Structure 1
């Protein structure tokens, strides 16, 4: 398991339009987009370039490239 060296802020838009947020508000590493695209990305069912996800900061970008859920 890889743990990022700094804290992240993740903001996802739920199917209902509600925003789900995790992490400190002042985090410089950020990920945001739709919850659906996030789920499709971390299960490797969709490439990052085919999602609406955006990353702010190099660590956030790298994390989106390698994130994976194992069941």
Structure 2
């Protein structure tokens, strides 16, 4: 997989509300590693981890769309 630079800004993610998750009573325990905190009955997701995985997803989609075959 080719690494590229994607302009993902944590402040913009905060402003967009990306960090707001589901109500704490509706959560899936498998999401625990990605939850940063609980506030007023809402899970707050870890934006640093979210940005990391978003970068990986962008690279994968770009490679798939460009027809690069890494097999």
Same fold (TM over 0.5): no
Q: Compare relative contact order (CA 8 Å, sep 6+) and give the higher one, 1 or 2.
A: 2
TM-score (norm 2): 0.26
The structure whose residues are more often strand, as a share, is 1
TM-score (norm 1): 0.26
